[in-house]
Chain A
């Protein structure tokens, strides 16, 4: 099955700054998904990233706040911009895994904004 390397695993950031999260997949994939998991909540889709096109954002998420890059079929970044304490969450990337008809997730980035 696909393996995803996600970095950083955790960070503590000052409000007003930005953090870029990276996901590297060990195989080429068409779509990569970015999710947010707020404390005590389940996963919510932020956006879908296709290589060579603009990311598609879900309602409530905007490109200026969560810019995404997808330079090739194995890599993507999510930036959390102008952070506030409300952005404190776990951020996860995911790809479809055809070997098991499921989806594989990265290990997550635990972000704390102070």
Chain B
């Protein structure tokens, strides 16, 4: 059974304090590893798709990396506006996404 586990559940950072979020996965065949940002009361906002081990993608202060067993979302010098829940998902056999429970990030000024 395909499974996604995210850690930590919650992370509090000071503005400018870099850190990483972890997403470990177990799948029968990887159909993509997806990162989303979700703000309270809103739908998930697409950030990245990764397909191959060793692949990296960047967007502003965020960088996503992928290995054969896990993905990391690195946040460099975060700002308060980066506060959100970050969701990791893998592609399912139905063409859907299978999500982890998310990491709630709080960045204090």
Distance in angstroms from B98 CB to nearest chain A CB is: 8
Contact present for A43 and B49 (CB under 8 Å): no
Bound: A48/B96 CA distance, A: 8
Within the assembled complex, what's the spacing in Å between the Cα atoms of A28 and B45? 20
Rounded to whole angstroms, the CA-CA distance of A43 and B95 in the bound complex is: 15
Are the C-beta atoms of B99 and A43 separated by less than 8 Å? yes
Q: Interface size on B (CB < 8 Å)?
A: 23
- By beta carbon, the residue of chain B nearest A40 is B101
Q: Residue on A with the closest CB to B35?
A: A102
Taking a contact as CB atoms under 8 Å apart, the answer to whether B41 and A42 are in contact is no
Q: Count the A residues whose beta carbon is within 8 Å of the partner chain — how many?
A: 25
Residues of A within 8 A of B89 (CB): 43
B contact residues around A107 at 8 Å (CB): 42-43
**In the complex, what's the smallest C-beta–C-beta distance from B46 to chain A, in angstroms?**
4
| CB-CB contacts below 8 Å: B71-87 with A | 87
Residues of B contacting A53 with CB < 8 Å?
none
Chain A residues in 8 Å Cβ range of B49: 100-102
Interface membership of A66, Cβ < 8 A: no
For the complex, give the distance between the alpha carbons of A33 and B95 in Å.
Answer: 9
Return chain A residues, CB-CB under 8 Å to B95.
Answer: 31, 33, 48, 96
Residues B42 and A103 in contact, CB atoms below 8 Å apart: no
Q: Is B44 part of the contact surface with A, judged by Cβ < 8 Å?
A: yes
Q: Which chain A residues numbered 68 to 107 have a C-beta less than 8 Å away from chain B?
A: 92, 94, 96-97, 100-107
Q: How far is the CA of A44 from the CA of B102 in the complex (A)?
A: 13
Partner of A56, one of B48, B94, B100: B94
A105 touches B101 (CB 8 A): no
* Chain A residues at the B interface, C-beta cutoff of 8 Å: 1, 6, 31, 33, 41-45, 48, 56, 92, 94, 96-97, 100-108, 110
Could you write out 12 A-B pairs with CB less than 8 Å apart? A42-B87, A43-B87, A43-B99, A45-B94, A92-B43, A101-B32, A101-B49, A102-B34, A103-B34, A104-B46, A106-B43, A108-B41
Give the top 5 A-B pairs by smallest Cβ distance, nearest first.
Answer: A105-B43, A102-B46, A42-B99, A42-B101, A101-B49
